[in-house]
Amino acid sequence: MTAVPTSTDVRTLANHIGGAWAPASGAETLEDRDPASGELLANVPLSNAADVDAAVAAARAALPGWRRTSPMVRARAVMALRDVLNEHRDELAELVARDMGKTLDDASAEVGRGIESCEAAIAIPHLLKGENLEGVATGVDVELVRQPVGVVAAITPFNFPAMIPLWFLPYAVAAGNAFILKPSEQDPLAGERIVELANATGAFPEGLINLVHGAHDVVNGLLEHPGVDAISFVGSAKTARYVATRAAEHGKRVQALGGAKNSMVVMPDADPKLMAGGVMGSAFGAAGQRCLAGSLAVLVGTREEQDAARDRIVEAAAALKTGAGLDPATDVCPVVSPAQRERIVRDIDGAEADGATIVLDGRGDAGPGGCTLAPTIIDDAPEGHKVITDELFGPVLTLVRAADLDEAIAFVNSSRYGNASVIFTESGGAARAYRYGVEAGMVGVNVGVAAPVAWFPFSGWKDSIDGDLHANGRDAVEFYTRKKVVTSRWAA
């Protein structure tokens, strides 16, 4: 295996195909810049169909031998990946912080969650066990076994450039599949390093784990290629629907995790400190660029109780420090790009023009990288406004008011999304009614970000997913394997 090419100049990234780094066939590149400083980190090649073909060919060549490899040996390979990732945890966290913009603490937690997926996938010898029933008729037995799907491709987003590739890679290869990663073109350095570290373990055959940089052409190439058997995707709702539709048209198994508009319900009895801390981490952590970010605070109670909760939230948000992710004092990192910031600011401007009140305004200095956006809180937005219904994917919190818990649940359930929702309350009865009645796949009680550990699925509902099998947990094993039922008759 060759090392990632380096240079004193800004380098153009290479694809990793068949166990070696190779330049992309296409000459066009995109700039990858540090959101905090604007520094040019790398040039990202826009690969083409020839690169996709090469990656698929390498994966298919490696697949038969890997499928024959014992599940115990595959589990040990994932264990080796887990160990090397843990050794390089700080390095990966710094890559995420520089390339995506996150604070070091947030980036380190992200890498830790990715490592957790490796730890869950190490149980693959147990998770792959099938079922059998003997004597269904005279001399007849039936057995169900799980076999790998084949070549799987993961198309991953910018907001978790280390964790989300690791949602897919460990489970896919542990189950006996070959793997192709297409990282986000906006911040691909962590994904590149993960692929390099995986191959450096020597635990995986050459060509089993591949990487192709690029944008739309590579996505379409993977969706349409007859040598790709399954697609794992995380991104916006619109793109998730496109990926699911195109993949299905070409006969592929697909899981496409899409957008969200997550509500945080604040009951009058909520612990003020716990509530404010949870709302801050959920709404403004990673600059709101999470599919589990709480972008709506539903304030429940009388007007006086609602206003008291609003004031606590605004006071806490105003105290947050915005800055570079590598600065230990930073609470709120930049958004990923100037274009992202401009889009979010347009949405805030639109709400203000339509009569909403901007009770905390973060539209000030964009910072040296043009990506800084401070916490912004919107109140009194018109019913059905975009800032209430659509995912803004930035450090913007919209306040909504409800007289009681039933009204709050009805509001949450009116969303077309169903990724996550949380409630802050000291009442067990309110918490139980909420977890029972809310239409969201991940529910938090006095927890700002309801992210499940890797032994459970990332269980979005409604328009937050296209497909019915989620990332992580037993769903991952279901997705990356096919069931084969064998009926046998033997003479007595």
Residue 17's beta-bridge partner residues?
20
DSSP string, 350-384: HHHHTT-EEEE---S--TTTT-----EEEESPPTT
The answer to whether 237 touches 261, Cβ cutoff 8 Å, is no
Is 333 labeled as catalytic in the residue annotation?
no
Phi-psi group of 287: left, alpha or beta (phi > 0 → left; psi -120 to 50 → alpha; rest → beta): left
Q: Which of 118, 291, 333, 371 is catalytic?
A: 291
Residue 167 tokens read as 């949602």
Pairwise CA distance, residues 264 & 262, whole Å: 7
Helix (H, G, I), strand (E, B) or coil at 395: coil
Q: How many helices (H) and strands (E) does the chain have?
A: 16, 22
Helix (H, G, I), strand (E, B) or coil at 192: helix
Distance of CA 208 to the CA centre of its chain: 23
Helix (H, G, I), strand (E, B) or coil at 347: helix
The answer to whether 168 touches 471, Cβ cutoff 8 Å, is yes
Pairwise CA distance, residues 301 & 405, whole Å: 8
Output DSSP code: residue 441: S
Pairwise CA distance, residues 117 & 111, whole Å: 10
Residue 341 tokens read as 């910031």
CA dihedral sign of residues 388, 393, 399, 401 = positive
Structural element, H or E, at residue 282: helix 272-284
Task: Please report, to the nearest 10 degrees, the dihedral formed by the alpha carbons of residues 26, 8, 88, 258 taken in order.
Answer: -30
DSSP string, 26-53: ---EEEEE-TTT--EEEEEE---HHHHH
Structural element, H or E, at residue 126: helix 124-127
Nearest to 405 by CA among 276, 268, 262: 268
Q: Which amino acid is at 216?
A: H
Pairwise CA distance, residues 286 & 292, whole Å: 11
First to last CA, the chain: 54
- Which residues are catalytically annotated? 291
